[in-house]
Amino acid sequence: MARTIAILGGTGPEGSGLAARLARAGEHIVIGSREALRAQETAQQLRAGLGGGAQIDGAENAAAVAQCQIAVLTLPFSGQAPLLKQLKSVWKPGTIVIDTTVPLAATVGGSPTRMIGVWQGSAAEAAAELLPAGVSIAAAFHNLSAELLAGDAPVDCDVLVCSDDEDAKKVAMELAVKIPGVRALNGGKLENARIVESVTALLIGLNIRYKVHSAGVRFTGLPAK
């Protein structure tokens, strides 16, 4: 059976960008939203943009989770814990969660170039605490901007994937390389997400100072693939 990837908060630019890229690579996507209608509208717009054959549906977040094998979290940090608490009884064992959340101070009215201190160390580790047993988590895509994901040009970025679960890490790395131009790198344990998340604040500052929207990360001295 073909797998389904739910993208929670997929009505925003990061989730929509990931949805379009992964649908273009042949994945079946369900956009998740707090409002089913908004999710369906975004799905319809993405399908129209991609043309025939793109498999993108829309559903309320919990309904999207109920039908997925992989769920990508693409919503602001301020909404992460409330949503995960709401979803606690919905997850199926074996589901893989991929967290893109950057706990930027902007999420609570502060600067987009500063981070919020998260007691657990990172947004991904905070999310891990709110998932039931049997649901694994990888952190990925933090340094890949929505501006780069929009459109179909190859991106020029490494995607660091951090997880304590080898299967979740493998799946996230396999999905990342479906985006043309991405090299997926094994970022080690989930605790390293605190480093990767904070690089995004630095990238946003670089975008502002250099008046671009395209800052990303490339590591040197590693295998090309």
Ligand X SMILES: NC(=O)c1ccc[n+]([C@@H]2O[C@H](COP(=O)([O-])OP(=O)(O)OC[C@H]3O[C@@H](n4cnc5c(N)ncnc54)[C@H](OP(=O)(O)O)[C@@H]3O)[C@@H](O)[C@H]2O)c1
Exactly one of 78, 86, 120, 186 binds ligand X (CB under 6 A); that residue is 78
Site string for ligand X, 23-62 (x = CB under 6 A): ----------xxx--x------------------------
Shortest spacing between CB 23 and ligand X, in angstroms: 16
- The CA distance from 134 to 45, in Å, is 34
C-beta closer to ligand X: residue 24 or 103 = 103
- The CA distance from 98 to 199, in Å, is 18
Degrees, nearest 5: CA angle 141-143-145: 90
Residues 95/121, Cβ–Cβ less than 8 Å: no
Which among 75-83, 84-92, 125-133, 164-172 is the span making contact with ligand X, rule CB under 6 A?
A: 75-83
187 binds ligand X (CB under 6 A): no
Residue 221, CA distances (Å) to 8, 99, 119, 169 in order: 35, 27, 33, 22
Range 112-151, binding ligand X (CB under 6 A): 142, 145-146
What burial class does residue 78 get, using C-beta atoms within 10 Å of its C-beta: 0-12 exposed, 13-18 middle, 19+ buried? middle
178 binds ligand X (CB under 6 A): no
Residues 197/123, Cβ–Cβ less than 8 Å: yes
Exactly one of 49, 76, 121, 132 binds ligand X (CB under 6 A); that residue is 76
163 binds ligand X (CB under 6 A): no
Residue 35, CA distances (Å) to 2, 138, 171, 216 in order: 26, 26, 28, 32
- The CA distance from 115 to 131, in Å, is 23
Exactly one of 74, 95, 136, 192 binds ligand X (CB under 6 A); that residue is 74
Exactly one of 43, 54, 87, 102 binds ligand X (CB under 6 A); that residue is 102
Helices 13-24 and 36-50: crossing angle in degrees, nearest 10, is 50
- The CA distance from 37 to 49, in Å, is 18
C-beta closer to ligand X: residue 79 or 205 = 79
C-beta closer to ligand X: residue 52 or 211 = 211
205 binds ligand X (CB under 6 A): no
Shortest spacing between CB 204 and ligand X, in angstroms: 8
Residues that bind ligand X (CB under 6 A): 9, 11-15, 33-35, 38, 74-79, 83, 100-102, 104, 142, 145-146, 200
